[in-house]
Amino acid sequence: MSSNAISQASIEQQWSLPYKGHVGMLCLIAAESAIFTIFVVAYIFYIGESLSGPTPREVLELPIFATVCLLSSSLTIHAAIGALRKLNNGGFRLWWFITLALGSIFLIETGREWHHLIYDRGLTISTNLFGTTYYSLVGLHAFHVSVGLIGLLVILLLALAGKVQQEHSKNVDTFALYWHFVDVVWIVVFTVVYIIGR
């Protein structure tokens, strides 16, 4: 039994398991991916199936600026966490704020695009199948961006209050996973809606 006791102690010492925040977030991302997959499938399934106009080619323009903003926010959030790990709290706040700003610009650009489509082009969710699938897919993504922005804002406020320190980098990192996911989904949505579907 004594050799057993020794092996037990060594097991307890060496025992380490993944961080539960990361695992949970990855699961959530898996579930979200499945939801987006269904919406993307519906979008692709209905390309060219609308019984009436307008068609994507007539009304959609490439949102290059918004895309650049959103994708670069992935880099800035990465930089923010790097700064936090290096105990550079000021750098963290700055990069975090830039991330928030870039995300907001994306959301505003989406809003402008929708305003243009609804008021100038007369395309609503009930106009035709294109409207239905376009607004729901882009809207689902915009919803995720909005949730991300709220999270970014909350963490920024906490950081300004001095509550985000180096030991929280794992938690912040978990949130960043979500933000990266939102970016990656945009690449898919962009490809499907603005390149394949147009």
Partner 1 sequence: MSSESIALTGVREPSSSFSDILYSWVTTVDHKRLGILYILYAILFLVIAGIEAIIMRIQLIVPHNHFVSPQTFNQMFTMHGTTMIFFVVMPVLFGFGNYLIPLMIGARDMAFPRLNAFSFWLTAFGGFLLYFSFVGGYGLYGIGTAPDVGWFAYAPLTSKTFSLGHSTDFWTLGLLVSGFGSIGTAVNFVATIVCLRCPGMTLNKMPLLAWLNLIMAGMVVFAISPLTAAQVMLSLDRFLGAHFFDTQAGGSAVLWMHFFWIFGHPEVYILVVPAFAFISEIVPVFSRKPIFGYPIMVAATVAIGFISFGVWAHHMFTIGMSSYGNTFFVITTMVIAVPTGIKIFNWLGTMWGGQLQFQTPMLFCVAFLFQFLIAGLTGIMLGAAPFNWQLNNSYFVVAHFHYVIVGGILFAIFGAFYYWFPKMSGRMYNERLGKLHFWLLVIGFHLTFDFMHIPGILGMPRRIYTYEPGRGWEIWNLIVTIGTFLQAVAILIFVVNLLYSVFKGRLAGNDPWDAWTLEWSTSSPPPEYNFARIPTVLSKRPLWDIKHPEDPDWDYE
Query: Which residues contact partner 1 by CB under 8 A?
Result: 1, 4-5, 7-8, 11-12, 15, 17-20, 23-24, 27-28, 30-39, 42, 45-46, 49-51, 125-126, 128-129, 131-133, 135-136, 140
| Least distance to partner 1, CB of residue 37, Å | 8
Q: Which is nearer to partner 1, 24 or 111 (CB)?
A: 24
Q: Which is nearer to partner 1, 42 or 107 (CB)?
A: 42
| Least distance to partner 1, CB of residue 164, Å | 21
| Least distance to partner 1, CB of residue 49, Å | 5
Give the span between the Cα atoms of 155 and 97, in whole angstroms. Answer: 10
**59 and 75 in contact (C-beta within 8 Å)?**
no
Q: Which residue from 150, 19, 168 is spatially nearest to 89, judged by alpha carbons?
A: 168
Q: Which is nearer to partner 1, 12 or 90 (CB)?
A: 12
Q: Is 29 exposed, middle or buried (0-12, 13-18, 19+ CB in 10 A)?
A: middle
| Least distance to partner 1, CB of residue 56, Å | 15
**109 and 65 in contact (C-beta within 8 Å)?**
yes
Number of residues written out for the chain: 198
